[in-house]
Amino acid sequence: MAKKWIGIGSILVMLSVMIGAFGAHMLEPIIGEDKISVYETGVHYHMIHALGIIVIGVIAKVFGESKLLAWSARLLFIGIILFSGSLYVLSISGIGPLGAITPFGGVSFIAGWICLAVTALKKV
């Protein structure tokens, strides 16, 4: 589990850098300042939660694996897809109803961090 999540998290960090660079250098002149702000929010949350996935992998290595810890990583991963992914598509396409998906990603992030907190408190 540890290797898998560290690897996945590392790939997600790399993707957030690439997506962010694409937005800053190629996309901003096309979609404008308002929409690039939405896009940048997606990149920001993508990066933070990808780093969180790496941390979860390291914690699994140090403290041992658990189902709750695995769910923590899964939920952060799902959150990146739903939250950041919906913001990327929304900012590029302008399709407003896609904004309805974003809160599900936020809930996934929150649930993932709760799983991590419970795991940490159980290990203390």
> Is 4 a residue whose pLDDT tops 80?
yes
Ranges of each domain in the chain: 2-123
Model pLDDT for residues 74-109, shown as the tens digit of each residue: 999 999 999 999 999 999 998 989 889 999 999 999
The whole-number pLDDT of residue 43 equals: 98
State the DSSP string of 15-61: HHHHHHHHIIIIIHHHH-HHHHHHHHHHHHHHHHHHHHHHHHHHHHH
pLDDT of residue 33: 87
Q: Report pLDDT digits (tens) over 27-66.
A: 988 998 889 999 999 999 999 999 999 999 999 999 899 9
Predicted local confidence at residue 124, as pLDDT: 56
